[in-house]
Amino acid sequence: MAKKRAFFIPRPGLFFSASSSSSSSSSFSSALAISITGNSPPTMSPPTEISGAARNLSDQVSTSVNLSVSPSAARPSPLSSFDARTARQTSVSRPKLLKPFATKDIKVLLLENVNITGRSMLSEQGYQVEFLKSSLPEDQLIEKIRDVHVIGIRSKTKLTERVLKEAHNLLVIGCFCIGTNQVDLQYAANNGIAVFNSPFSNSRSVAELMIAEIITLARQLGDRSLEMHNGTWNKLSNKCWEVRGKVLGIIGYGHIGSQLSVLAEAMGMTVIYYDVVNLMAMGTARQVPTMQQLLNTADFVTLHVPELPETKNMFSTQQFEQMKDGSYLLNASRGSVVDIPALIHAMRTEKIAGAALDVYPSEPRGNGDYFNKDLAPWASDLRSLKNIILTPHIGGSTEEAQSAIGIEVGQALIRYVNEGTTLGAVNMPEVTLRSLTIDEPNHARVIFIHNNVPGVLRKVNEILGDHNVDKQMTDSRGDVAYLMADVSNVDSENIKDLYDQLEGLSCMCT
């Protein structure tokens, strides 16, 4: 049963409403937003500019702990005297800072200790932000999500179809991490709920962890440290190696794999990589045609692939047999990628000399929970192995990465809620229009999400035809189509009629 949702977002000082009803149609419903620009009432506080808020937060955090931030949060160079003079002369056409609704009515729920940078950005917009440090059991999550418009999560919270069916007002989901497999993306798209993530911001942190673990495995540092903690002095060099001159095989040459490639090459390693698509190499790295060729050659193998049906247990008994004797495996991608019993067997038979795992098929719900046989039958055997590094999913757990993730996802959420921009959405067509300017009063921005079927665009334009359509962009992704249009000659007196017509069309198009 598809959910019909529409929301009308007029200019500040009017009202905000969101409604939900059920339909027996098997196709998904349209979602509609209309935003009016114009002068805000005197009682409204001035809007906070999105990129400015990100820069301010970035400056504060970077100054306090010397952080590097993601490219999306890069600070612009100061204006030259010529640029400044030009900016003053053309200020009448500068972008209008859109905040086209009473922001105090936007409810945001942030779970799993989302970083302060993201929380602050959303709060500065005037949204109602509720923050919890942990994930919630499904029944509690359902109660919490019923009236929120924005939810921010990390990897532990599962937004299943059952949960999303109860999210009557939900507009957008922010995954403050790389992965989105914890969200039912198709159900969200079919109900007009955009999903954003952070594909770039923690890649450096994960790559650096891989470098640290490669050296730790090569020198057996984990075992030597544990022995010293237990009071045993065990100085040896047997089967301890330099990494210079060794071959690193990278499976999955995306954001993380390519950064790891550069770091490893700087240490004197030879880098080869395998990916399902042809990708340009960084430095002197070389792509190989098959994963078997990589496994036959590499001294260290690292995995950087998404969680997909095709990647479940993609590294099992056959792949371990293809690896060089005495080589090493490192996985910081997804826990389902490696067959853990097969890994345990390869370690016990000394087929491989060591391994490092940061992710697991089953993981505890939170800090302080036990990683033992009650969680998974293989946990105790895994912990008993020599020269194996086990870390609790901390690949992106650095101050720099979490700060950058907060900025990247927070900025995407604000742009979607305030402007309807879907750039970076993982389940929607990517659509944006240039910003409205302060010399464009009485303009409306219309967002219409609908089934990708013939005839909808014509019907929408018939409704908008009484006004001047200044800009329009539409795109589709599978069964979902997304239309954004800016129309002029619209004021608060006739906007409700325009909304009612489009809302009626949404019922016919689903």
Cα–Cα nearest to 118, from 183, 68, 172, 50:
50
The answer for residues whose C-beta is within 8 angstroms of residue 487's C-beta and 6 or more apart is: 443, 444, 446, 464, 467, 468, 469, 470
161 given a catalytic annotation:
no
User: What is the DSSP secondary-structure string of 213-243?
Assistant: HHHHHHHTHHHHHHHHHTT------TT---S
User: What is the DSSP secondary-structure string of 426-458?
Assistant: SSS-----PPPBTT--S-EEEEEEEE--TTHHH
Block residue for tokens 């003079």? 85
Amino acid at 72: S
Tokens of 2: 């598809």
| Given the residues 168, 393, 399, 440, the one annotated as active site | 393
Contact 255, 305 (CB under 8 A): no
Q: For the chain, give me the number of helices (H) and strands (E)? A: 16, 18
Cβ contacts of 350-353, under 8 Å, gap ≥ 24: 350/326, 351/320, 351/321, 351/323, 351/325, 352/320, 352/323, 352/326, 352/327, 352/328, 353/217, 353/239, 353/326, 353/327, 353/328, 353/387
Cα–Cα nearest to 384, from 400, 397, 373:
373
Sign of the alpha-carbon dihedral angle for 65, 207, 350, 247 = negative
Distance (Å, rounded) from C-alpha 433 to C-alpha 441? Answer: 17
| Given the residues 166, 265, 307, 363, the one annotated as active site | 363
Angle at 196 between CA 61 and CA 29, to 5 degrees: 150
The answer for residues whose C-beta is within 8 angstroms of residue 197's C-beta and 6 or more apart is: 174, 175, 177, 178, 179, 180, 409, 424, 426
Block residue for tokens 């004197």? 268
Phi, psi of 110 (to 5 degrees): -115, 125
363 given a catalytic annotation:
yes
Give the Cβ contact number of residue 389 at 10 Å: 18
49 given a catalytic annotation:
no
Tokens of 274: 């395998």
| Given the residues 119, 149, 204, 334, the one annotated as active site | 334
Helix/strand/coil percentages in the chain, nearest 5 = 35, 20, 45
Distance (Å, rounded) from C-alpha 69 to C-alpha 398? Answer: 12
Block residue for tokens 């742009």? 415
Tokens of 227: 């022995």
Phi, psi of 375 (to 5 degrees): -80, -45
| Active-site amino acid positions | 334, 363, 393
